Amino acid sequence: MNPSYQIDELPHAFPQLPISAEIRTVPEDFVVDEELGFSPTGEGEHAFLHIRKRGMNTEDIARILARQSNVPRKAVSYAGLKDRNAVTSQYFSVHLPGKNDPDWQDMADSSLEFLSINRHRKKIRRGGLQKNAFRLLLRGFDGNSELAEQRLAQIKSSGVPNYFTAQRFGHNANNLHHADEMLMNGRRIKDRFKRNIYYSAARSWLFNLLLAERIRSNTWNKAIQGDSMMLSGSRSCFHIDTIDEEIRKRVDELDISPTGPLWGRGSSMLTAEAAEIETASLSDWQCWKEGLEKAGQQMARRSLRMPVADLSWNWPEENQLELKFSLLPGCYATAVLRELGEFSEPERKQSF
């Protein structure tokens, strides 16, 4: 195993460019807006809140909402985790059966703004979004702007590897170290939220290892015999035994992509060459795989490729590059950046 868990050591899809810049110099440089794809019904047991936050993480907000509503933390739901070092708008639901809404605006301050307050019949579920829209400002850009624009055009047409990046694994990959203690040494974690975070980190790292091997074999964006293919924008998968022109055409058009495992109980859905690559790439991680299965995690699939929709760019000032794009739920903007160059944060100095 690799005790360092360095995301930087994972291979890139495209040749690395001599480009660097700083990201998240201030939270306003990294803006993320959730887009639901539906509207709340206006009635029901769930308060449905659209919130903009600055300098706070998602779980902070969830706990505050629970306290304000005098409900257990588990009564608060959200679609996905958003980073602390950003300005993000996201949706929360609070289960309030037979109760009136508290005065939500009492919570508002410079870090927390209520964009809309509504009601809905169902709670919001994890991943229950249409997409996330990003606006990133890269400061101190150092490199050839023409090369950068050529690479951005390549990313727009081809997509990028759908890596889980450093945010998934915590500061200094601590989530993976905790996961290793649980899966290898039997350490018990009482806090359910933390336990699930560590299991998710472990499954994400195994996925990254398989994706890395598919990049090395130049098959991360190609269908191979025995693959499980995912339809873009959905979680629907289908198995392929043979690869015909129709399959190749759909892959080239980003309509379908090969998948990798989010490890757990159940079949991997792979055969032939695809199964051989997956088995070989994870052969040193048998204890983790068995531990995740024993913990009750269920096998799932994730696309190896990330389409980068609506990608545009401009140069607002000298040495500044602004990017706008949309990603499907569960995809990371920093996985896009790592295919463009090397980007660091002034405070944490963390490379992607």
List the beta bridge partners of residue 113.
52
Helices marked H in the chain: 58-69, 145-158, 166-169, 174-185, 192-216, 245-252, 272-281, 286-294, 333-337
Which position among 83, 101, 244, 252 bears the catalytic label? 83
**Cβ–Cβ under 8 Å, residues 259 and 227:** yes
Q: Give me 187's structure tokens.
A: 């350490």
User: What one-character DSSP code corresponds to residue 234?
Assistant: S
Give the SS3 label for residue 239: strand
CA 254, 17, 23, 350: dihedral to nearest 10 degrees? 100
Residue type at position 226? G
User: What one-character DSSP code corresponds to residue 80?
Assistant: -
Q: Give me 200's structure tokens.
A: 């998710």
Nearest to 294 by CA among 183, 179, 180, 177: 183
Inter-axis angle of helices 286-294 and 174-185, nearest 10: 80
Exposure class string for 177-208: b at 16+ Cβ within 10 A, else e: bbbbebbeeeeebeeeeebebbbbbbbbbbbb
Q: How far, in Å, CA of 84 to CA of 80, rounded? A: 13
Q: How far, in Å, CA of 195 to CA of 197, rounded? A: 5
Give the SS3 label for residue 166: helix
Catalytic-residue membership of 83: yes
List the beta bridge partners of residue 81.
none
Q: How far, in Å, CA of 232 to CA of 213, rounded? A: 22
Catalytic site residues?
83
